Amino acid sequence: MKNLKTIFGTVLMTLTLLTSCETKDDGDNDFDNAIDIATAQEFKNIKDIALANLTQNFTFNADDGNITLTSANGVQININGNCLTLNGNPVTGQVQLEYVELFEKGNMLTTNKPTMGTLPNSDKTLLISGGEFFIEATQNGSALDTTCGLQLIIPASLTGGADPLMSLWEGEIDAEDNLTWDEVEDATGQGGVFVEGSEYYGLLQGFGWSNVDRFYSDPRPKTLIQVQAPIGYNFTNSAVYLSYDGEDSGLAALDTYDGTLNLFSEHYGQIPIGLECHVIFVTEDNGVWRYAIKPVTIVANDIITFTMDDTTTGTEATLTALINGLP
C-alpha cells in the first residue's frame, strides 16, 4: 500500500508539472496575441499626428505686399502677398500660412518624409538634405496659388554647413501617402538653389513640398536588400527605413512590398555593399510607436529579419531622439 501511494504521488506530481508547463506556454502565446496589430488607418494617424506636431502657423495681410516670416529654426520665408490668387483672382485681406521644416532624420521618419530622389532612369536613391519644407497658403480654408513664387533663406548650419552641390527638389505624394522627390529644372542653371555665405537661397516655384538636396555618392558596388517584417505587418500598417551611418540629414525608405514573401525592398539595387547603416522597422501600437532598430553592414542580396521580440514601444519624442542619435 505504501508503494502504491508513492507511485500515485509521483504520477500526480508529474501531471501537475506537465499542466504547469502547458499553462506557461499558453501564457506566452497569449502575450504574443495580446499585441494589437495596427490597422492602416491607425498607422496613418500616428504619422499625421507627428506632422501636425511639427506644423507652424502664420497669419499675414496680403495687402502688405512683400513680407518676411521667420520660422522656429530661423528660416526666412519671403512671400509677396500681391501675387496670391484664388481661382485666378487676386486675394486681399488676411491669409493663413501653414509651414513645416524638417532637418533631422528622426522627424523625417515619424512624418514619413524620407529623402528618396528620382534618378534620370526613374529609379530612386538616397538624397542628402539641406532641409525639407512644406508651405501652403489658405484663405477661409481655400488653398491659394502664387503667380511669382516665393523664397526661402535657410541657415546651412542646420544641416552641417553650406554645400554648393545642393539643388531644389519638389515632392510628390502618391495614393499610398509616400513622398518622392523630383529635381527642379531651373533656367538659371543653379537648380533653384544658390549659396551665399552660410545660407541657402531657395527659389520656390509654388506651394507644396520642397527640398534642398544632393544625391548621396558612394563608389562601392551596389546591391538590393530586403527586410522581413514581423508577422501581421505589411506595407499598409508599417514601414522600413535605412539610416546611413555618418549622414544626419538623409533617410532612405524601402518603398516596395512583396505580400507573398512578406518582404520590404528598395528594389532598385542602389545600396552600397559594405555600407554601415541601421535598419528601422516602425508601426503603431495603441496610440504610440512600436519599433525596432538593427545595426547592419550591408552584404550582397541581404535579407534582414525582424520579429516581434525585436520590437519595443515608445513615444514620438523617444523614437525621434533615438533616430537622431544614430551614428
DSSP labels, 109-161: HHTT---EEEPTTS-EEEEEEEEEEEEEEEETTEEPEESS-EEEEEEGGGGTS
Least confident of 19-33, 67-81, 112-126, 289-303: 19-33
Question: Is a pLDDT exceeding 60 seen at residue 28?
Answer: no
175-to-170, 239, 254 alpha-carbon distances in Å: 17, 16, 16
Least confident of 20-34, 69-83, 298-312: 20-34
Least confident of 14-23, 113-122, 129-138, 316-325: 14-23
Q: What is the pLDDT of residue 17?
A: 34
53-to-45, 153, 264, 312, 322 alpha-carbon distances in Å: 12, 23, 28, 22, 18
Separation of alpha carbons 112 and 177, rounded Å: 8
For residue 175, what pLDDT band results from cuts at 50, 70 and 90? confident
Q: Is the pTM here over 0.75, yes or no?
A: yes
Question: Is a pLDDT exceeding 60 seen at residue 101?
Answer: yes
Question: Is a pLDDT exceeding 90 seen at residue 194?
Answer: yes
Q: What is the pLDDT of residue 25?
A: 40
Contact 122, 116 (CB under 8 A): no
Mean pLDDT across 236-244: 98
Contact 113, 92 (CB under 8 A): no
Sign of the alpha-carbon torsion through 145, 151, 155, 160: positive
Q: What is the pLDDT of residue 188?
A: 54
Separation of alpha carbons 164 and 94, rounded Å: 37
193-to-49, 158, 168, 202 alpha-carbon distances in Å: 31, 16, 6, 5
Least confident of 58-67, 213-222, 266-275: 266-275
Considering the chain, what is the average pLDDT of its residues?
A: 89
Q: What is the pLDDT of residue 190?
A: 57
| 327 Cβ neighbours under 8 A, 6+ residues apart | 245, 246, 276, 278
Residue percentage of the chain with pLDDT more than 70? 88
DSSP per position, 249-318: T--EE--EEETTTTEEE--S--EETT-EEEEEEEEEETTEEEEEEEEEE--TT-EEE--GGG-EEE-HHH
Q: How is residue 70 annotated by DSSP?
A: E
More confident position, 33 or 50: 50
Separation of alpha carbons 45 and 177, rounded Å: 12
Cα 169 to the center of its chain, rounded Å: 17
**Strand-pair partners of 284:** 289
Least confident of 10-24, 176-190, 237-251: 10-24
Contact 293, 251 (CB under 8 A): no
Q: How is residue 82 annotated by DSSP?
A: G
> What is the rounded (10 degree) CA torsion for 159, 120, 259, 172?
60
- pLDDT tens track for 256-300: 999 999 999 987 899 999 999 999 999 999 999 999 999 999 999
For residue 191, what pLDDT band results from cuts at 50, 70 and 90? low
Question: Is a pLDDT exceeding 80 seen at residue 307?
Answer: yes
Q: What is the pLDDT of residue 186?
A: 66
Q: What is the pLDDT of residue 174?
A: 86
Mean pLDDT across 162-188: 87
Domains and CATH numbers, the chain: 48-215 (2.60.220), 218-324 (2.60.40)
Q: What is the pLDDT of residue 10?
A: 41
